[in-house]
């Protein structure tokens, strides 16, 4: 999948033109978080681009994400959900900001305009090993939808914290995206890490063997 972004400092009309030019005449759909966000820019309706929304099934803008998607003012979770759809071939995020940094970092996303979004610092070898290890055991193409997978994530995060490894949520999101975790699972993983960092006692079963945990922590 091809990806690009237009950072939020670029005016919206100029950003739209840049996004359409990047699409190079291919089928384009514009997906916004709500009807009101589209209506705030009335000229969008006369652009000739199919328009849809992520949040309102009863919106008069009913296009589904297809072909090249212009992600119009979407948050990171919405971007990840759109990317998971088979009908989407490429995506350009308009009004991208620092909240999109893990996605930009994971895919080395092309900047079309606006300021550069600073990449997330690279995770340690141990953290990389942990995310890759969890992926190979349970998460690939499924995410954290299963309680067993969620339990593995909590166990691994807790072990790494207890061994003194920093659990940076943005780094974890970037690593999980690189490992093709499904949908918003990278964000859920980061939320678990925040809870672990705060000292919250999360319940989990010991599903990971000690040898695997030790190998990740010592990478």
What digits encode the pLDDT tens for the residues 188-198?
A: 999 999 999 99
- The answer to the question of residue 119 being in a domain is no
The stretch 155-181 carries a mean pLDDT of: 96
Write down the pLDDT at residue 104: 98
DSSP state string for the chain: -EEEEEETTS-HHHHHHHHHHHHTTS-EEEEES-HHHHHTSGGGGGS--EEEESS-TT-S-BPPP-EEEEEES--HHHHHHHHT-TTEEEEEEEEE-GGGHHHHHHHTPEEEESSPPPPPPPPPHHHHHHHHHHIIIIITTTTT-SHHHHHHHHHHHHHHHHTT----HHHHHHHHHHTT--TTHHHHHHHHHHHHHTT--------S-HHHHHHHHT-
Answer with the one of 79, 113, 147 that is the final residue of a domain: 113
Residue 44 inside a domain? The answer is: yes
Last residue within a domain, chosen from 113, 146, 170:
113
Residues 61, 149: one domain? no
* CATH code: domain of residue 175: 1.20.1290.30
Instruction: For residues 105 and 145, state if they share a domain.
Output: no
Q: Are residues 88 and 9 in the same domain?
A: yes
- Report the candidate in 171, 165, 157, 163 with the shortest Cα–Cα distance to residue 201: 157
118 is a domain residue = no
Is the pLDDT at 30 greater than 90, yes or no?
yes
Q: Would 120 be classed as within a structural domain?
A: no
Residue 159 lies in a domain: yes
- In this prediction, what percent of the chain has a pLDDT beyond 90? 84
CA 50 – CA 185 distance, rounded (Å)? 28
Do 26 and 82 have their domain in common? Answer: yes
- In a shared domain, residues 74 and 154: no
For residue 9, the enclosing domain spans: 2-113
* Residue 37: inside a domain: yes
pLDDT recorded at residue 57: 74
Q: What global pTM score does this model have?
A: 0.93
**Residue 34 near residue 14, CB atoms below 8 Å:** no
Residue 10 near residue 114 (C-beta atoms within 8 A): yes
Is pLDDT at 19 greater than 80 in this prediction? yes
pLDDT of amino acid 148:
81
Q: Of 113, 147, 170, which marks where a domain is finished?
A: 113
Provide mean pLDDT across the span 104-120.
Answer: 98
Whole-number pLDDT of residue 55: 81
pLDDT band at 56 (very low <50, low <70, confident <90, very high): low
pLDDT at 37 over 80: yes
What pLDDT is attached to residue 142? 58
Q: CA quadruple 80, 152, 128, 168: dihedral positive or negative?
A: positive
Query: How many structural domains compose the chain?
Result: 2
Asked if residue 11 has pLDDT above 80, the reply is yes
Q: Are residues 160 and 100 in the same domain?
A: no
Share of the chain above pLDDT 70, in %: 96
């Amino acid at each position: 999948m091809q990806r690009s972004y237009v950072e939020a400092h670029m005016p919206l009309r100029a950003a739209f033109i840049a996004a359409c030019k990047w699409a190079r005449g291919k089928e384009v759909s514009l997906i916004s978080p709500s009807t009101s966000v589209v209506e705030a820019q009335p000229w969008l309706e006369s652009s000739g681009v199919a328009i849809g929304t992520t949040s309102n099934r009863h919106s008069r803008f009913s296009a589904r994400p297809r072909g090249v998607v212009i992600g119009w003012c979407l948050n990171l979770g919405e971007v990840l959900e759109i990317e998971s759809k088979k009908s989407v071939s490429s995506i350009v995020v308009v009004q991208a900001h620092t909240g999109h940094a893990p996605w930009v970092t994971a895919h080395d996303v092309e900047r079309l305009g606006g300021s550069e979004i600073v990449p997330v610092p690279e995770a340690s070898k141990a953290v990389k090993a942990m995310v890759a290890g969890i992926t190979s055991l349970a998460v690939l193409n499924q995410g954290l939808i299963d309680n067993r997978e969620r339990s593995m994530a909590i166990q691994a995060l807790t072990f790494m914290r207890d061994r003194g490894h920093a659990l940076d949520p943005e780094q974890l999101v970037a690593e999980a995206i690189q490992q093709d975790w499904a949908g918003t699972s990278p964000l859920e993983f980061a939320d678990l890490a925040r809870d672990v960092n705060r000292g919250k006692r999360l319940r989990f079963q010991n599903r990971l063997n000690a040898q695997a945990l030790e190998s990740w922590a010592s990478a």
